[in-house]
Structure 1
Amino acid sequence: MAQTDVLVTKQPAPQSVPPCELPPKVYEVARNTGAHTSSGLATAGFRTAKYLEDEWFQNCYARYHQAFADRDRSERQRHESRQLAAETEALAQRTQQDSTRKVGQRLEDMHCWTSELRREGGDLAAEAGLLRAETRRLERALDATALPFCIATDNLQCRERRQHPDLVRDCVELELLKEAELVRNIQELLKRTIAQAVNQIRLNLEHKETCELDWSDKVEAYNIDERCARYGSQSTDVQFHPHSAANAESASTPETWAKFTQDNLCGAQRERRASANLRALIDCVLRDAAEDLRLQCDAVNLAFQRRCEELEDARHKLQNHLNKTLREIVDQEHNVAALKQAIKDKEAPLRVAQTRLYQRSQRPNVELCRDTAQFRLMSEVEELNMSLAALREKLLEAEQSLRNLEDTRMSLEKDIAVKTNSLFIDRQKCMAHRARYPTVLQLAGYQ
């Protein structure tokens, strides 16, 4: 409590009391009475060291004056005392009222700050709850990305079981590699974002705790000041505390007090804004990640569809060629059989012609003539031999062609089996597995 200077009216210095003057007549009588007078000898035995009458009067007058002066001084002191008491009473009332008003103003300030701290603490708690919800979305989205990565790697592993010549680095494999890399990058991004969100939640809770501690201190101080504001001169629960007016060395000033709370509020608001911005970033990251994954999934599915169409078309064409080849093999087999029969059919005329030549070579003497018949038989044998040679050559060609057709048939059947296997892997294994791909809502962490 501020000490109050009390103004006390300065008392005038007491004036010296003038010596009391006796009346002239009495003075003269006293002056003519002494030891050398005629009456002095007769009364010599009665005269002792006594005060004179004028001294007696003087003493009386002095007492009167002293009593008057004391009464006057006492009256002035009483008046001044009453005046001082009234002034100090009024000063004390004014001081108490001013102190009560100051305490009331302090209560208003603390009420305002406590309201701000309570509101900011509640906002931070709500913001921390919202950020926790976004963190759970991130965790669900991270869990949801495990399936696309598993699907992509499984598709790549399944397609490794393709047979030559279908074991190619086609557009499907390129898209699958891009998908696996995209999922891995998104997983790393989500993990970093989760760590950032957890750290931001920790900062929110720390500033919330700081605001709550400041709010708790202010509530306690508010209760103390409210109790102090109710104290009055008529209060019965007040007592003397002589050393309470001394200021503590660690006491703050109104400026540092306000700055401390303002810094706490600014820090809380800064973290709350950072948390809100992070939530917006998380929502954007999840939305973009889900869209990117779905777009890449659609690209992979489209590549699978195109590749399956190519494989189906190639298998269909191979099947057509196989059917034609099989028909050609049947025709060629018939041709080989016909050639063999033709060769067999030429053996009898050749035997006949050769037998005729042999028999005619047995003619005696001059009858062994190279006549027209001989020349015709010889030409017939030559023609038959040439025909047989041509037929045998053609038979060899037909048999080689038949073998080539058989090899082609086997190659076509093997290629068709390879294409069928590739189609089975792409359609039944890969595309059927890709039907379990998460939805956009799951990738965004909503489910």
Structure 2
Amino acid sequence: MAASPMKERKRCSVADWESSNRQLWESAELRRLTAHRIRQEARHLRNDTLSKMELDQSNSFQHLSDRIQEVSRWKDRLQSCVQEVNKEIDALRKVKEEAEHVLAALLPPLEVSVECLSLREGRRGGELVCDPVEAELKKEVEASERAKRELQQHVDKAFQQLFLLQEARQQLTYDLQNKMEALDVDMRCQSLTVTSPGISLKLSPLCVPLGSTSPQEWEQFSRYNISRAQEETQTSQQLREDVTLTLAKVQSELQAQHAATNFALRKRYHKVDQACSELHWQQKTTREEVAELELDICRLEEDLQAKEAPLKLVHTRLENRATRPGVDLCQDQVQHGLMSELLTHDNILTARLNIRVPPCYLFAHNLHLRFFISLTDISLDAVSTKFYCWSAWHHRNSSEMV
């Protein structure tokens, strides 16, 4: 079979071919220019990005350094404030313990003073007097009670102030602990580099955590804690000064009052001792006088008995002569002499003795009464001296000296 003739294709002219090639060249040139521009822009963008990243990293590093310095500064201030608060707590606790010790030391002397007043109420008779000792003891009891009230008030205030200081210290410690943890985090962040192990992309790194604060709030929080701690420290220092002054005043007042009471008690004890000595001397003298008076009464009774025999003789003679008979019953000289003798015995001697003896008995009875009164007075003085609580007071003085 004979081959079919080939279909003639469309042919371009030389001009068209040249025009087509020129278009290709121009298109390629345009694309090369565009690519060159894009490459230049990409290089510029890469350089800008690298520069900005390096600048941002440098700024972040500097910001971290500044933040670390600021946090360190506040940490140092908080540490210093905590140390001051600790010192003040120790000082206030020491003053409080001293006040409590003085308060406890007031109780035994106060009990002794109250016991002395109670014992002195046991005095009897004329010894139950309102003397300077009682007045000074009452003053001492009042001074001790007043000192107890003042010291107890200061102890209560110190206890409350210690609570406030501890609360302020707790807040400072909490803030300081947070500062130390934040400082550790920032220092670890500052030490990280692009080549550090463990760095990675995180989910939502720009998410603001709950509870975040502004720098102003952060600074205000620490500033408030330090300011509060300083105020409580100043209040505590003023309270310590007040407690110290009160302790000095209380000790001075009580020492002065104790000296006054001790002087009054010694003086009264000396007077009572003198009174007892005087009563003992009066007792001895009265006993001797009673003995002499009783001896004289015995002698008077003996004299009275001695006068009975001559009186009996006269009575017997007169009675016998009355039996004379008749005219011999004469009132002669003998009769008159006997009657005169009888009158002498009866009216003078016997009458005088009978008059003298009863008053002697009465006076002796009075002396006996006075003797028993002096014994009673001595007994009362002895009880009074015992109730003057000298033993308890002397024991108190010995305890205070120890």
- TM-score, scaled to structure 2: 0.85
Contact 1:151 1:433 in 2 (8 A): no
Tell me what 1:126 maps to.
87
Q: Could you tell me which amino acid in structure 1 is paired with residue 270 of structure 2? A: E
What residue number does 1:99 align with? 60
Structure 1 gap ranges (5+): 1-44, 440-446
Q: Which moved more, 1:377-386 or 1:142-151?
A: 377-386
Q: Which residue of 2 aligns with 1:20?
A: none
More off after superposition, 82-91 vs 175-184: 175-184
- Cα distance 1:160–1:429, how it changes in 2: closer, same or farther (>3 A)? farther
CA RMSD of aligned residues (A): 3.1
Take 1:162 and 1:436, find their aligned partners in 2: how far apart are those partners?
A: 25
Structure 1 pair 94–231 and aligned structure 2 pair: CA distance change class (3 A):
same
- Give yes or no for contact 1:158–1:429 (8 Å, CA) kept in 2: no
**How far apart are the structure 2 equivalents of 1:214 and 1:117?**
8
Partner of 2:376: 414
Q: Is the Cα–Cα contact under 8 Å of residues 124 and 204 in structure 1 kept in the other structure? A: yes
Aligned to 2:275: 314
Return the offset for 1:200.
2.4
Q: Look at both structures and tell me which one has the larger radius of gyration over its CA atoms.
A: 1
Structure 1 position 196, deviation (Å)? 2.9
Q: CA deviation at 1:303?
A: 2.1
1:222 shift after superposition? 0.6
1:343 CA drift (Å): 2.7
Using the TM superposition, name which of 311-320 and 254-263 deviates more.
311-320
Residues 16-55 of structure 1 mapped to structure 2, 5 A cutoff: 53-55=14-16
2:241 counterpart of 1:280: yes
- Residue pair 1:151, 1:434 contacting (<8 A) in 2 also: yes
Within 1, Cα distance between the matches of 2:320 and 2:88?
A: 124
Deviation at 1:390, TM superposition (A): 3.1
**Which deviates further from its counterpart, 240-249 or 217-226?**
240-249
Separation (CA, whole Å) in 2 of partners of 1:377 and 1:395: 27
**CA distance in 2 between partners of 1:372 and 1:60 (Å):** 224
Instruction: Measure the CA separation in 2 of the matches of 1:227 and 1:167.
Output: 88
The amino acid that maps onto 1:333 is E
- Matched with 1:302 is 263
Measure how far apart 1:424 and its partner are: 3.8
Q: Matches of 1:251 and 1:263 in 2, distance apart?
A: 18
Asked if the contact 1:162/1:421 (under 8 Å) is kept, the reply is yes
Q: Which residue of 1 aligns with 2:165?
A: 204
Shift of 1:209: 1.8
Q: 1:403 to 1:187 in 2, by over 3 A?
A: same
| Counterpart AA for 2:352 | A
Q: How far off its partner does 1:369 sit?
A: 6.4
- The CA distance in 2 between the partners of 1:77 and 1:383, in whole Å, is 182
* Counterpart residue type for residue 134 of structure 2: E
* Alignment pair present for 1:70 and 2:11: no
* Structure 2 runs not aligned, ≥5 long: 1-5
Percentage identity across aligned positions?
Answer: 25
Measured against aligned partners, the alpha-carbon deviations of 1:337-387 in whole angstroms (never above 9, x if no partner) come to: 233234334434444554555455556666666677766655654454333
Distance 2:44 2:256 in 1: 96
Distance 1:360 1:382 in 2: 17
1:237-288 per-residue CA deviation (whole Å, 9 max, x = no partner) reads 4222352223335311111111100111111222222233333333333333
**Do the aligned partners of 1:148 and 1:438 also contact (CA within 8 Å) in 2?**
no
Count of matched residue positions in the alignment of Structure 1 and Structure 2: 396
Larger deviation, residues 101-110 vs 427-436: 427-436
Larger fraction in helix: 2
- Separation in 1, partners of 2:115, 2:197: 86
Which residue among 273, 288, 308 is the counterpart of 1:327?
A: 288
Q: Deviations over 1:186-235 (max 9, x none)?
A: 34444443333333222222222211111111111111111222233444
